[in-house]
Structure 1
């Protein structure tokens, strides 16, 4: 393939930031097809339209998902990208790799594809960019038979489940995210590979409310680690933080000296439900008002820990902008035990209740959150067989009503009228 003049793309190599243009040029020295990627993108910038055309379903035998078809609408001009399909490979749990595995995967992609990658997609997949139709089956065979890895999801199916590091490296994880993700990935192989839903459906597993895989914002079914009892407090460590003997935020201050630690300013005043206060030199917490946001624990990790009775909250319906714009997940089940001891049967039961309902009432290309929004949360809660609870209310601590004691009512209206008239008469 010949190099193309790319004056518009060349502008993206200027400045201090890494450039995808530079990366593609480097890969084009190994695989000349990549010059045609640059040429077609340059043409798209010039014409202000994409030159990837619609139409053309492509995949591997027996799978309905995992391959995203890409065809150029100017193949005579850029034959190297006449076919440039995207392959989604199911990532390992928590994205743990060995260098041996990564090298083998890249060698396989150099053999069958363009060598271009995107590590990772927003759901988590290893994204391999650029494969011709005739090379898909050989690549798939080598991937599954030689490396023991599988394709991820694409289309109207269960997308590749993803999870945070969980208990493998994080002290805040309230359940085993890796085991949960692996078990459900294996349990739902058919739903991942054979699209049958109104639209895509994503699982994400976060071990705590820090939510390192953005489950609350990006997944239809978020399992967020939490605890049911009280935050554990080490009062001696609280005193050490206040005295400045332990650095707050684990010592992570981005190289800037923020001054002496102020527990009132940095912890108590920032509690979203105002459930914390000091009594003398002791920190007090009204755990009945705590929403488990993790802020205080993040600031003082040696003084505060999650409670001992641990599990997860189930939140549903998050998505990026598609039909009705971006939306966060809605809390559906405040606390549930999440354990491999029962093979996650209680979580699976909830998932399948949602699917049965959504597949019946969901519209084409409507995420489950949009279906929930359309029918209303009360209807969804009823369908799920749940009793309404205060946590289902959007703003449980804001109340539009005025309440009064019974004794205040007796004669109160007449007194108020008399006082009003007296003030205005004066």
Structure 2
């Protein structure tokens, strides 16, 4: 085995300082232990990128595995003479198990395979949720894919202009607030839409993210084209005695998780009632009242007083669409499209919505235009009608404030003209 060559990396050394763990230390330790030149070449190229203030990865063609159009991200160095061990440094996305539950034996096998076939460096997990295997050469892609699918029973994730790997929170497996079975739904959507996941045919990427409750622990409202968030349609359950226990100091607010904050004496008016975004709560000193029709499911009161308040029992999900990070039009948060939908296998109603959205987006979407940008371009009203959804008040943040209200011709014909006719009949003079 040839001797490992290390590079002069003063800026990387700076990243090793301070109280927090450093990825530089991790990479160096792994490279030393396993004699991986790619680890040191990677740090050398990163040093050069910091110095030049530009990336040194180039697009050198598309790579993948036979039959799949996604899952492998081609990466080549434009400094191959200086860093030959990373002349190709392809990244492989592996479809993570729902809620990221692993058996240690599976992780060991995966790491052993990657140590043999690639750089040995991994990322658990990418922002979409996938297991990320960082760095291998083109000749190893098919062997990696064979090992993943035949020995480890794992599959590639999504990359490119396709459905990205669906992701979900921990759901009912370990969370008492989960209103839906996130893992079952995530698995069902993953298996149903395999073709969309592995064979890019969309205008751009499309992400499902599934949260079991409105706490939205997978941050779907900020990141997903299609968010599925568990919710309830009945009343919040209240244990009035537990509410009194919080007020009296017998129970600690926020489940005792102060996060460095000294609550002092708990003030229900200040910490809960006044912070309710819809002002739907009232405390009379003896009893807590909630106007559930006004509740927007922000979860704040439940999070602060978890032993006193719980979600309702009549559960389903809210569907939101259109979130994305800043790419073309800047960052967007998602918009409520379906305030409440019941979710039971085989999820036919949900899948009908998904497929109507895809049909319109694939027909009308421009190249590299996310769903939220399409919604913005065509207008919410046109989008909602085309994908066969009902207009509902929850789609609107606040009533429109301009005087230019436009009516459709048939609405005009059947609306004010009818009113005028009725008025004339009542007032013939």
When normalised by structure 1's length, the TM-score is 0.91
Give secondary structure in 1 for the equivalent of 2:247.
helix
Cα displacement string for residues 131-168 of structure 1 (whole angstroms, at most 9, x for unaligned residues): 11001111110110001000000000000000001111
Computed over aligned residues only, the root mean square deviation of the Cα atoms, in angstroms, reads 1.3
Which residue, out of 44, 49, 65, partners 2:70?
Answer: 65
Q: Which residues of 2 match residues 393-408 of structure 1 at below 5 A?
A: 393-395=396-398
Shift of 1:43: 1.4
Distance 2:64 2:316 in 1: 39
Contact 2:70 2:199 in 1 (8 A): yes
Matched, 1:187 2:192: yes
Distance 1:205 1:117 in 2: 24
Shift of 1:284: 0.5
The runs of 5 or more residues in structure 2 that have no matched partner are 404-429
Distance 1:154 1:206 in 2: 22
Which residue, out of 342, 356, 369, partners 1:353?
Answer: 356
Shift of 1:379: 0.8
Which residue, out of 284, 287, 292, partners 2:292?
Answer: 287
Matched, 1:40 2:42: no
Q: Which residues of 2 match residues 237-316 of structure 1 at below 5 A?
A: 237-316=242-321
Cα displacement string for residues 368-408 of structure 1 (whole angstroms, at most 9, x for unaligned residues): 00000111111111112223221111236x9789xxxxxxx
Number of aligned residue pairs: give it. 398
Distance 1:257 1:318 in 2: 35
What corresponds to 2:208 in structure 1? 203
Distance 1:242 1:400 in 2: 45
What corresponds to 2:408 in structure 1? none
When normalised by structure 2's length, the TM-score is 0.91
Give secondary structure in 2 for the equivalent of 1:267.
helix
The runs of 5 or more residues in structure 1 that have no matched partner are 402-426
Which residue, out of 93, 98, 119, partners 2:98?
Answer: 93
Cα displacement string for residues 90-137 of structure 1 (whole angstroms, at most 9, x for unaligned residues): 001100111111111111110100011111111100011001100111
Moved more, 212-221 or 253-262: 253-262
What corresponds to 2:391 in structure 1? 388
Shift of 1:77: 1.5
Contact 1:157 1:192 in 2 (8 A): yes
Matched, 1:74 2:79: yes
What corresponds to 2:30 in structure 1? 27
Cα displacement string for residues 146-191 of structure 1 (whole angstroms, at most 9, x for unaligned residues): 0100000000000000000111111111110000000010001110
Give the direction of change, closer, same or farther, for the CA distance of 1:61–1:258 in structure 2 (3 Å limit). Answer: same
Which residue, out of 325, 328, 343, partners 1:323?
Answer: 328
Contact 2:356 2:388 in 1 (8 A): no
Shift of 1:10: 1.2
